[in-house]
Structure 1
Amino acid sequence: MAVLLALGSTHFLNDLIQSLIPAVYPIIKDAYALDFVQIGLITLTFQIAGSLLQPVVGFYTDRTPSPYSPVLGMVFTLSGLLSLAFASSYALILVSVALIGIGSSIFHPEATRMARYASGGRQGLAQGVFQVGGQAGGALGPVFAAIIIVPFGQSSLAWFTVAALAAMSLMIWIGAQHNVISQQFAALRASSAAGARGARPLAPTTIGLGLLVLTLLMFSKNAYSESFRSFYTFYLMDRFHLSIPESQMMLFIFLIAAAAGVLIGGVLGDRIGRYRIIWISVLGPLPLTLLLPYADLFWTGILTVLINLIMASAFASILIYAMDLLPNRVGLIGGLFYGLNFGLGGIAAAILGGLADSYDIETVYRICSFLPLAGLLAWFLPRIEDDDPARK
């Protein structure tokens, strides 16, 4: 549990730094006279940089575990943060967010493996603790933007180098625990394997179908979530005439619901199975998303919290479901699905930015309200024996 809490703390600090990027969009949009397409391209650059390397890093660490690689990742993040604080052009902003994305791509695969090693068999709880740190850190970005970055300007981003240095210290300690927890996990896995010798390995077609469906579900979830991370503040300011600090606090409330959602989803996944959680979390928000574009300010706040609470509960189950499909490729799966989380979100941000410029921001939310229909694809997920608690 000490390792899990430390991992959650490093994820908190890592994602806090990342969340400062969309949190400063309203500031840099005015300062550099950017349109919504350019805002979307900033997100796309960050997300692509944070996605392309992750499967490669995961593939490498599956063969050669590198418990100190997250420290190297944080060096890139630190460099990007300082560069963004003093960037004087749109091109430098793109370079800065790319460096932060590269740092994230190095951090996630090995940190995901360590969380699995420290799970003690309760994978949902372990991934929930790890991810709730990231979600909480991401939620605080708008708060810091409202109380620090808006009053003191873009250069105040440099103050958050303290968070990067603290994360590096924790990662060094976590790396030193690698041998102990990996041996404990290997012993637990050997014991579980001895009790399930009769189980047949999954066919390659079953694995391929499962990964394809999980990828499509991830895209629908991330496309909807990205509409809030990148454009929710603009939506609130445009429709309800809120100030930047007010809209940032609304974004914080939305994002903190995700932190609760991932932990709840992880714990419930251990109890009722990943398959059921995926159905509930991806398709369940549909009635709420259809209502959202027509709600007043009060109900907009209520609905966005409920939507994100339910939708965020999917990620731990999707990740663990994928790990169960390929149990010997934990780093690759962690890199692939965290990479997908970045890359697909970036693609969605660029598309939604184009729609916002061509039409308006409210039209974007009407279109996005139908995205949870993609949850019907969960029908095609292969059933995994170990995923059903009643069969364990």
Structure 2
Amino acid sequence: MIDIFKRNLKIKIISIFFAFFMWIYVMAEVDPIILKDYDEVPVKINNIDILQENDMVLYPEPNLKSKIILRGRRSSIKDIQKSDLEIDTNLKSPKIGKNKLDLDIDVPSNISYTIIPSSIDLNVEENIYTKKQIVIKTTNGSNEDLKVDKISYSPKSTFIEGPKSLVEKVDKLICKVNLKNKSKDFNSKAQIIPVDKNGKTVEGINIRDQYTYVDIGFTKTKEVPLVLNLKGKIGEEYKLLGYDLNLKTINITGKIEQIDAIKDIYTQEIDISNLRESRNINLNINIPQNIDSDIKSVNVSFEVAKLVSKNLTIPSKRIEYKDNIHNLDISKNNLPDDINVKVTYIEEIGRDVSEKDVQIFVNMKELNSDPAKFRIKYNIPIEVESVQIDPEYVVIGE
């Protein structure tokens, strides 16, 4: 039996070596060893819930992706897709600050791998929760007549949460309310924005309330005329020549609806029945309720003159009959011998009035009745307040 194996031993050995090398060749050429790269394969952190349990948080957000290079037979690797791969790491005992974690991947034993990078650095911070006040900021309030009078909002504060370094950057919470084209009271929902001391938004902060609800109330300023509120009538022996307010208008401020309804503002009432001379008087201004004005009083100057009355007797023969176009017999008139004329004028005119100053006449063109009746008219060389003539008419031909 042993002799059988010993026969042609050299040929048999050569055949075995040939067969072996043929097997090596076939294996190398038909199912070769290859390398395959996979970029940005996601990294899964196991036990990450331990951070929340210990009031910790990852910050800044790490890049949880790495590159994988697989090495193995083509038959083993060719069907592996990127979605089939997941890199694992384990966060066992996190600490505040830098935590270095090794990366691993589960692949078949006949495949070798390289992970680039082979580890990741995770920065862990304390996760803090604090309360901040909300501040309302108005923008585009371009209408000079309208001013924000009331701002009410709810909530007035809320809680923010996040990494300690971020939360400590937050100076305040602001809500911007746009006043553009606003002409009456309104309410609005405004987003809450965390900002730093420079007014820049702090990103990455969790806010318990996303919005606050704001009510905006306006006041309006308007210029209105100022009116002197006079009472009574000046005495018969005096004349009010005029008065002058040192302010003709004032600015008033109040709720829009009230201001729009006001057309003018009156001074306090003043009785002029006892006014006997020119004088200056300070008067309060009657400002309506819930309306404001910087001006509370006004000065009025009254100019008063004393009147003088004089009774004159003028002979009727002095009447001048003008334009007797109807050829009436003026001798047939009903006039008495004397005509009474009462002249009233301002004392300050500075001269006395006598009968010689008064010219009386009738215009006979103005015939409009039968018998002919004409109003007696006058001319006086000075300015007078009134002239009363008795009788008032002359009748001709009666």
Fold agreement, TM-score > 0.5 = no
Structure 1-normalised TM-score? 0.15
Instruction: Decide which structure has greater strand share.
Output: 2
* Higher-RCO chain (CA-CA 8 Å, sequence separation at least 6): 1
Instruction: Decide which structure has greater helix share.
Output: 1
Structure 2-normalised TM-score? 0.15
